[in-house]
Each structure stands twice: as C-alpha cells, then as structure tokens.
Chains A and B, each alone.
Chain A
C-alpha cells in the first residue's frame, strides 16, 4: 500500500505500507517526476522483499515543501476540503449511491 494519510492507513491496518508525507493526491511520488516515483516504488519493492509481519510501515524521507501550510490548512474552516462544483458532485454521487441501494442495484 502506498499512501499519504498515515493515521488512516495505520488505523485500518494493512500488510505493508509506504508512507509519503505529501498531500492527498501524490501517494506514489511527485507529479511529473519519474525518478522520484521510482524511488517511492522501490521502497515498496523492498518492503515486499523484507517485511516479515503485518502493519510494517516505512516512511519516505522526502518533504513536499519547506512551507507546510498545506498541512495546517487542510480540513479547516479557512480552507474547505470540497467547495463549489466538487462539493455538489460529491453530494450528487452520495445521492446516486443511496438511490442505487434503494433500487437493489448495489
């Protein structure tokens, strides 16, 4: 498992976890940086080879930026996680899910 939300993945529990302390959206490395993506992937390959028990986490050494404002702001009133069209789409998708469930399609 590759992920950026350490607490959520470890709360769930997975066999092997590569944690990258980047924003949600970059679980496998920096965008348009194939070399960095390979570094992250290689941590996972080494976990496949070396882990001996479940809940094994390794953390990639990288930081997203010197400024960690993104960490301070996410899911705060100052910076809503979803807004505008994204919020509307999410609410609509939830309703479609309820409708499908009611119709026995899920």
Chain B
C-alpha cells in the first residue's frame, strides 16, 4: 500500500506554481473536543453533517441552478428526501479518478437508513445538515458550526456523522 497523498504539501507547491504568493493556511486546532457516548448506538439518533454541497434536483429532475449560486451558510434537508433527488454541486474532488454520481459514496443517507433497519443505530434525525463551501475559516468556526450545533440540539441528535466529498 503506497503512502497517502500529502495534500497540504502538494497544494502548497501547486498553488505557488499557479502564481499565488502565500500558501493556504489549513485549519488547525491544538485542543480537540471529545464526547464519549452516553447510550448505545442502537438507541442513538444520528444526523449527517456534510460539506459535500448537497442540493435537491427540481421536480423535472434538472439541477437547481439558483441554489448553485449560494455560497457559505448552513442548509438542512429532510432525512427522508429520496436519494434520487439529491446530488452534489461540488467540483472540488478528484475529477480524473472518480465521479460524484453515487451520492451514498460521500453522503451515506441510504446506508444509515439501512443501519436503522438493521437495529445498529436507533433512528435518523428529522434533518441532515450541511455548510455550502465558503471561504472563511473564521465564519465556519464562529457562525456556521454553532448554527449546525444549534440545529442538531434542537432535533435531540446524539451522534453526528461528518462527511466531505
């Protein structure tokens, strides 16, 4: 098995080569919170928190172009939205190696529902949440993340499954 891609090094060199003068500063936290589970998974309510830029197709099956102009900010989708209506508007993935055609490969909404049916987890929360790609780590930390937490607490969520693309 070859070593994982060192994205931080790779993107630094890449963007300097593209003419950017200062390297991107990736988020870094000295202290990382940790909350032990307080009840079994089979009794827990689970929500997805995604940065996969999930959007809903229009009734005619086309992409929602109006939505695609939104940037930043928190959105929520009902947990039982048919997966056929969901898609990702993300373009920041490895377009040379894979596609985003299978939503469950990065937004495991059907798989989690199956875990409920198998009794592995208790239930899904009424809403899953996401933050559309933004360009401010400060806003993510001070505005968007607290809003996601507020919505999760409002729905009595026990566990959050976080997924990028």
CA A81 – CA B7 in complex, angstroms? 12
- Binary contact readout B1-36 vs A (1 if CB under 8 angstroms, 0 otherwise): 110111111110110010000000011111111111
Write the nearest CB–CB distance from A52 to chain B, whole angstroms.
7
Instruction: Tell me if A23 and B98 are in contact (CB < 8 A).
Output: yes
CA A53 – CA B96 in complex, angstroms? 36
CA A41 – CA B114 in complex, angstroms? 11
Q: CB of B77 within 8 A of chain A?
A: no
Instruction: Tell me if B94 and A23 are in contact (CB < 8 A).
Output: yes
Name the interface residues of B102-118: CB closer than 8 Å to any CB of A: 102, 104-108, 110-112, 114-115
Nearest B residue to A4, CB-CB = B164
Q: Residues of B within 8 Å of A, CB-based: how many?
A: 65
Instruction: Tell me if B5 and A74 are in contact (CB < 8 A).
Output: yes
Interface of A with B (CB < 8 Å)? 1-8, 11-15, 19, 21-32, 34, 37-38, 41-42, 44-45, 48-49, 51-55, 63-64, 68, 70-71, 73-77, 79, 81-82, 86, 89-90, 93-94, 96-97, 100-101, 106
With beta carbons under 8 angstroms apart, the residue of B41, B98, B115 that contacts A26 is B98
Instruction: Tell me if A38 and B91 are in contact (CB < 8 A).
Output: no
- Binary contact readout B133-153 vs A (1 if CB under 8 angstroms, 0 otherwise): 111100100000000000000
Given contacts A86-B91, A97-B71, A100-B72, contact A21 B4 (CB under 8 A): yes
With beta carbons under 8 angstroms apart, the residue of B8, B14, B97 that contacts A11 is B8
CA A7 – CA B32 in complex, angstroms? 16
Write the nearest CB–CB distance from A3 to chain B, whole angstroms.
6
Write the nearest CB–CB distance from B149 to chain A, whole angstroms.
13
Q: Which of B69, B107, B159, B163 has the most CB of A within 10 A?
A: B163
